[in-house]
């Protein structure tokens, strides 16, 4: 059974884009994934994104993706929304992934802008609509032009919002002005997809976060969100500023790399990375330790 949701918060408020744990020999670690998922929910996440970029989706197979969804849903039950990444730069393949995620028990879908192909806006519209038409699951768009090469224009977001199953957007565009207009015009539930902008995006209408640093500071993110919602702007700002070293440190290099390193330092399931991602150097690990310590993270 899916957790309770509202039109304003269809996937909860604090979601972590979860890494995919692997065993020492590089195979899928389903036991580790279940333990990590339960830990993240216990820490304050009411949603988890699996099979996203932070989950190394470019290097996991379709069957691995389905097995991971099943395992995480089994681990967290109705305590958290499990949203499955189900988009590539191949619309037909994306539709297949969406249907497989639904069969595996996912509560929703994350659909990223097709990358590398650089389609026009009409191509984006048809791509996302095809995914939304493929299942009965609610869909969160994922707008990240820094990785995909093209933004989802505000006009396209408004068109897509007319689809009954496209209910949210993960915003990693880094443009508060465009976000303000798109939130107002589309009515979609807006989620920050850039940890440094979590608090600023709340101020212009976002309802929550899809976070990477939520792996290590979910309680603080929850406290910041609660402070903002209660009108305690000063407290929310204090928490945001306390977390600045974490926001910076976790993205000194590719976020999956630092996240798996941080989880390993905490004794949590993570495991190795799949190429082309590589582990931190000893010097980078020392820097990460300093960054996390400066943000109050216990290692």
Spell out the residues 6+ positions from residue 215 whose beta carbon is closer than 8 angstroms to its own.
Answer: 16, 18, 19, 40, 259, 262, 263
Spatial CA neighbour of 86 closest among 30, 45, 133: 133
Q: How big is the CA angle at 297 (ends 10 and 273), to the nearest 5 degrees?
A: 70
Cα 118 to Cα 49, 175, 178, 216, 241: the distances in Å are 24, 20, 20, 34, 36
Catalytically annotated residue among 65, 115, 125, 142: 142
- 248 marked ligand binding residue: no
Q: Look up 142 and say whether it is catalytic.
A: yes
- Active-site annotation holds for 65: no
Active-site option among 170, 173, 191, 260: 170
Question: What is the CA 116 to chain-centroid distance, rounded?
Answer: 20
54 is in an annotated binding site: yes
Cis status of the peptide bond prior to 244, with omega within 30 of 0: no
Point out the annotated binding site for pyruvate.
54, 210
Residues that constitute the known binding site:
54, 210
Active site residues: 142, 170
């Amino acid at each position: 059974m899916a957790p309770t949701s509202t039109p304003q918060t269809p996937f909860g408020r604090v979601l972590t884009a979860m890494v995919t744990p692997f065993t020492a020999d590089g195979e899928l670690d389903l036991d580790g994934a279940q333990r990590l998922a339960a830990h993240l929910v216990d820490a304050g996440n009411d949603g988890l994104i699996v099979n996203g970029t932070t989950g190394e989706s470019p290097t996991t197979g379709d069957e691995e993706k389905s097995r991971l969804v099943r395992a995480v849903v089994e681990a967290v039950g109705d305590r958290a929304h499990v949203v499955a990444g189900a988009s590539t730069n191949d619309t037909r393949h994306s539709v297949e992934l969406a249907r497989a995620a639904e069969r595996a028990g996912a509560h929703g879908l994350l659909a990223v802008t097709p990358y590398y192909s650089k389609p026009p806006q009409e191509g984006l519209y048809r791509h996302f609509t095809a995914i939304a038409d493929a299942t009965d699951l609610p869909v969160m768009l994922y707008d990240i032009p820094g990785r995909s090469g093209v933004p989802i224009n505000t006009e396209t977001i408004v068109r897509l919002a007319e689809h009954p199953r496209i209910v949210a957007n993960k915003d990693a565009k880094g443009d508060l002005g465009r976000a303000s207009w798109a939130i107002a015009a589309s009515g979609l539930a807006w989620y920050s997809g850039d940890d440094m902008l979590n608090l600023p995006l709340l101020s212009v209408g976002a309802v929550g976060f899809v976070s990477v640093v939520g792996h290590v500071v979910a309680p603080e993110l929850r406290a910041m969100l609660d402070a903002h919602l209660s009108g305690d702007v000063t407290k929310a700002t204090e928490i945001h500023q306390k977390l600045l070293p974490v926001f910076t440190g976790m993205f000194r290099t590719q976020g999956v790399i630092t996240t798996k390193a941080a989880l390993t330092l905490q004794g949590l399931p993570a495991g190795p990375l799949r190429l082309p991602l590589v582990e931190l150097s000893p010097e980078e690990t020392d820097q990460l330790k300093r960054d996390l310590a400066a943000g109050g993270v216990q290692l």
